[in-house]
Structure 1
């Protein structure tokens, strides 16, 4: 079987319905609307997303990070015209901290099953992760909403004070800088922070554990290139080879409960296929 056939078989055995439908819509001529129908089941009446859309957050209640996950799914479908977007922005408006950013995670997470790294203070401040990624995706798709202006100002304020960063913050930051309308300012900040972003990357393609490789920060060709072609080719080779005999790709971080290994593997399998296709390694 070829790469896609093996991945399809893996998803049938291990993937959530939403990830099986994503695969069908993106690689097998399936229905985009069916993905949206499945995604709506993760959205709560308050407009936020929960219900383990982000597999390490098992609670039903809304959290900021699953909004970003939902927006990435809407992005891959070019579906930011969905009413889910405005409802999610309304939710974000209700949880925004002073200064315009949303927290990394809300204190309500303490009452739910979750991975041990989801910790927070009683009154958490706004955070670039996920505010910058969410704002960047809204800018990419030309969405207008009252939440976005203050969130953009928050991101610019935080970016201006950065001298070093962390892998997940860097990933959110890059989405913002790639799509925010003020291109002159974005390019200047990208140039200033480029080395700090690169310091979060593990260049050894065979390094194990919860490391962040170049393709994690550049899952598709970007207007803000971080890596040369040779580096990308090396890591694409390794990514292709990492498809398991069963046909999927596995997470490189700890699975704190058995179910999340399968849920993340299904989600990541679709993501890896998208990356391989974006760099011309996979057709269609």
Structure 2
């Protein structure tokens, strides 16, 4: 079993100092050094708008200031790693979600206001976007995980169950959202039943060879920390954790495998991804210190 050496960890820290956003540098301090979350939370608050939503390139491919659903998910993942779901940002964000939710309870993938600012070319939407499992399922999952009570959650949960029930060949990103939701949904019998039905379809979206090139999704994208759903065997996870250590760049960072459409996002995604990889290695006991 490989572990990330002290020298490799020092290289990752240096990479973050040279390339990452302040929020990701502070996340690393909290993750590795046990620094209090206060400074991360203070910076995260700067991304939250007066309407309670998040923007300002918290999701690096959405460069504009306007609130969008997906940055709420990004903010909630950060709050999750800090165990800070008691922060007032959560309820304010949920209040905002109520204002952009479709009648069936889902949140759109992206809102038409995205057109007013630079963004990656895949952020497109019709004038009246439908609710989407991305990001509804993952946002609902994190609220359930932390037992947040808010009027947005029950309709969003019902939307997610209904949408999952219609899936039989999910895309990789949709499959990941489904796994997140089924891991934390409070109705465990229903969650395990849907997981059993969809397990093979979900696995069909996963690149099990860690050397697979291109924009693919690996087991650790579905299980960045240990999960209870029996999706991958220990041998698969161990192989990919070894590969993750080997994939660290010469400059100390890890980079995503999807297109970088403008220079700044390469740095921002690189910092975000490097913290995510360090978090995964820590979660699976692969850091030496």
- What TM-score bracket applies, with the shorter chain setting the length? over 0.9
1:49 aligns with 2:54: yes
The answer for the alignment partner of 1:76 in structure 2 is 81
Q: Is the 8 A contact 1:136 1:176 kept in 2?
A: yes
Rounded Cα–Cα distance in structure 1 between residues aligned with 2:217 and 2:38: 33
1:35 aligns with 2:45: no
Q: Say which SS state the counterpart of residue 11 (structure 2) adopts.
A: helix
Rounded Cα–Cα distance in structure 2 between residues aligned with 1:48 and 1:2: 39
The answer for the alignment partner of 2:230 in structure 1 is 225
The answer for the alignment partner of 1:4 in structure 2 is 9
2:246 to 217, 224, 241: 241
Length, aligned pairs only = 284
Rounded Cα–Cα distance in structure 2 between residues aligned with 1:150 and 1:175: 17
Deviates more, 1:273-282 or 1:66-75: 273-282
CA RMSD of aligned residues (A): 0.9
Deviates more, 1:172-181 or 1:81-90: 172-181
Rounded Cα–Cα distance in structure 1 between residues aligned with 2:114 and 2:121: 11
1:154 aligns with 2:165: no
1:22 aligns with 2:27: yes
Q: Say which SS state the counterpart of residue 209 (structure 1) adopts.
A: coil
Rounded Cα–Cα distance in structure 2 between residues aligned with 1:44 and 1:4: 35
- Higher RCO structure, 1 or 2 (CA under 8 Å, sep 6+): 2
TM-score normalised per structure 1? 0.98
What are the ranges of 5 or more consecutive residues in structure 2 without an aligned counterpart? 1-5
The answer for the alignment partner of 1:123 in structure 2 is 128
Rounded Cα–Cα distance in structure 1 between residues aligned with 2:230 and 2:76: 23
The answer for the alignment partner of 2:71 in structure 1 is 66
Rounded Cα–Cα distance in structure 1 between residues aligned with 2:265 and 2:214: 16
Rounded Cα–Cα distance in structure 2 between residues aligned with 1:29 and 1:198: 35
Superposed counterparts of 1:246-257, under 5 Å: 246-257=251-262
Rounded Cα–Cα distance in structure 2 between residues aligned with 1:283 and 1:36: 28
2:266 to 261, 268, 272: 261
